[in-house]
A and B are shown apart, each in its own frame.
Chain A
Amino acid sequence: MRQWIVLAIAALVLSAIGFALGAYQTDVYRKLLLWITLALGYNFLFGISGQVAFSHFTFYGIGAYAIVILLFQVGLPLPLAVLVGIALCVVLALIVAIPATRLEGFYLALATLAFAQLFIVVLNEGGAVTGAAGGLANYRLPDVFGMRVTGPWYTVVIVLLLLSTWTILWRLDRSYFGRACRAVRDDPEAARAMGVNVAHTKIIAYTVTSALAGMAGMVYAFVDNTVNPLIFGLENVFLLLFMVIVGGSGRHAGAVVGAVLLYLLPLVLSPLIGHHHALVFGVFMVVVVLFQPKGLIGLWDMLRKRGGRA
């Protein structure tokens, strides 16, 4: 019960912020919320399940392209397009995950990296269907029950997306499944000995987080009202990885902190160093891995513990 109240308050506050912002801030705010959504999902995949996959942003792209193509080229109604889009993400995730779980260690990273690159190649060569290098543009969200969802109301949609993603992942993490994921991450052999089905756990974690990324992609498609190959390149999946690690991998709050920090940092830094904020990210990443493997949230825990003792 308490959890639902907290969620409702969070939904109200986050939506209220959306109504108070100007055009530019709204854009920044919406993308920030989307990055947090993605980072939460990636944290479950990488931080909690321990799978080094570079395909998370690809599923974001698949979701975005799927909804646009299904709505405006196939001509499906919105609810059906959403369902078909999610089904597509699930099927693709299963196709990648089922054989990939047989791979040990960094082979999953290689396979998903290839998959991510292949997606970009397909987008660029997709002709009229994907709009090639220019992508797809000049569309807008169809009316829902005769209403146009625009402006701050669309921000509310993103807030709901974020909170439902959070709830799903939080519940999963607190269930048998979440503990199984952590067990598989820490020691697959021991987990198997305790009766955890390692392959199933990995496949489900990969599929669920990929489908969530796909959903976020569908919502994103109507933020800029354009999708193109550049948006879904490898750079952004690295950024996602950096967010999770810098924030504190394996922790939901860490993913949020990392996403907020690394998303807002370039905006703060750009007057100082122009477009070279990626250098700061790289240094951050190396420093965190070397000196603070639990990330910023681990630092916060340490401070709180010290404060509690004093």
Chain B
Amino acid sequence: MNDFLELLVGATASGCVYALVALSYLLITRPTGVINFAVGEWSMLAAFGGFVLLSRLSLPYPVGMVLVLGGMFLIGWATERLTVRPLLEKGAPALAPILALLGMLVVFREVVSLGFGPDPQPVPPSFGFGRLELGLIAGSYQSFFIIAVTLSVFALTWYFFERTLAGKSFEAVAIDRRAAALMGINLRRVTSLAFAGSAVVAGLAGVLVSPNVSAHYLMGLPLAIQGFTALVIGGVGRVEGALLGGLILAFAEQFTVRYAPVPPGLAMGVPLVLLIVFLLLKPTGLLRAREARP
């Protein structure tokens, strides 16, 4: 039982990381229809930001975190400005921005490998390596920190979309781009903000997960795959879907590793099988997108 509860905390924490990556996809996909495969590389960049600021310069955790996320905001904004906006303004085919971002994925990764080399680099956890026990439920500080931060991020995102005018303009663009533009919503600003916000969320995932996996220039792609698997499970239409999908994926993954009689290497295939099954049986995901209300 203890073992199960401990696993529960760990799985929830990884699920939260997947959920953040899924949210990062969703923030861009929902208003623009673009799928940004470079999301995982954004997490990787932020993890290296964490390595430089927190490990090398030993800045206090909150200061380092704020600096990294500020940097990610700029990177997301610049990525949109340099590679996506020119294509949208030229009226390029819908595929073009996706390909440009795929190119950026390689650029980000290779720049980091050029700068930091192929070795994994340590990033410190928020409150050190302690263990927290709340009655029966126990886990590392970092696990609880990840869960708390993720829940706050999702609460904030929910508040943004449901209660603020800017958030409603996102939803309006998602439902009908043309109609939204005709109602005076600034499409450019929505797109810029979507990319910047997405980069911040992806960066957060990167800094949160890196104490466990270390910052490594190849860490992006697995995160990206887990993130979009979570997204597909939950459905691309709803913010809550990302959280739900992330948790389902992490539970399926970790419980298979722990309890199912398959070799651990094969358990790595669990998210992939889950992704294929969901794509085939329920491509809209578990939660349906909101339709325009009359």
Contacts and interface: CB of A to CB of B under 8 A. Distances in A.
Interface of A: 50, 52, 99-100, 102-107, 109-111, 113-115, 117-118, 121-122, 124-125, 234, 238, 241-242, 245, 276, 278-279, 281-286, 289-290, 293
A122 B283 CA distance: 24
Given A282-B106, A289-B87, A289-B96, A114 B283 contact: no
Contact of A282 (B35, B96, B107, B225): B107
A185 B269 CA distance: 32
A281 B106 contact: yes
A34 B67 CA distance: 47
A121 B269 contact: yes
Contacts of B229: 114
A115 B276 contact: yes
B57 interface: no
Nearest to B34: A106
Contacts of A124: 265
B232 A110 contact: yes
A117 B35 contact: no
Nearest to A273: B114
Interface residues of B, number: 40
A50 B95 CA distance: 9
A234 B96 CA distance: 20
Contact of B35 (A99, A109, A118): A109
A106 B283 contact: no
A283 B229 CA distance: 28
Q: Chain B binding site: helix, strand, loop or mixed by DSSP?
A: helix
A290 B109 CA distance: 20
Interface string B218-229: 000100010011
Interface string B85-96: 011000010111
A69 B276 CA distance: 26
B224 to A, nearest CB: 9
Nearest to A239: B106
18 contacts: A99-B280, A103-B283, A110-B35, A110-B275, A111-B275, A114-B279, A118-B269, A118-B276, A122-B269, A124-B265, A245-B99, A276-B114, A278-B110, A282-B109, A285-B106, A286-B103, A289-B87, A293-B96
Interface of B: 33, 35, 83, 86-87, 92, 94-96, 98-100, 102-107, 109-111, 113-114, 221, 225, 228-229, 232, 263, 265-266, 268-269, 272-273, 275-276, 279-280, 283
Contacts of A99: 279-280
A122 B99 CA distance: 28
Given A103-B279, A282-B103, 12 more contacts: A100-B279, A107-B279, A110-B35, A115-B272, A117-B272, A118-B272, A121-B266, A242-B103, A282-B104, A282-B109, A286-B100, A290-B100
A286 B83 contact: yes
Q: Of B35, B94, B95, B229, which is in contact with the most chain A CB atoms at under 10 Å from its CB?
A: B95
A279 B272 contact: no
Contacts of A52: 95, 98
Q: Of A107, A276, A282, A289, which is in contact with the most chain B CB atoms at under 10 Å from its CB?
A: A289
B273 A118 contact: yes
Contacts of A121: 265-266, 268-269, 272
Nearest to A246: B103
A51 B86 CA distance: 24
Contacts of B107: 279, 282-283, 286
A139 B96 CA distance: 44
Contacts of A109: 35
Contacts of B33: 105
Contacts of A241: 99, 102
A52 B102 CA distance: 12
B221 A107 contact: no
A255 B26 CA distance: 33
B225 A117 contact: yes
A107 B275 CA distance: 10
Given A121-B266, A122-B269, A286-B83, A238 B96 contact: no
A242 B24 CA distance: 25
A290 B269 contact: no
A278 B41 CA distance: 15
A290 B87 contact: yes
Contacts of B110: 276, 278-279, 282
A190 to B, nearest CB: 15
A125 B266 contact: yes
A279 B269 contact: no
A110 B279 contact: yes
A114 B272 contact: yes
Contact of A285 (B103, B109, B266, B272): B103
B39 to A, nearest CB: 13
Contacts of B266: 121, 125
A293 B232 CA distance: 30
B99 A282 contact: no
A208 B104 CA distance: 31
A281 B110 CA distance: 10
B106 A111 contact: no
A111 B276 contact: yes
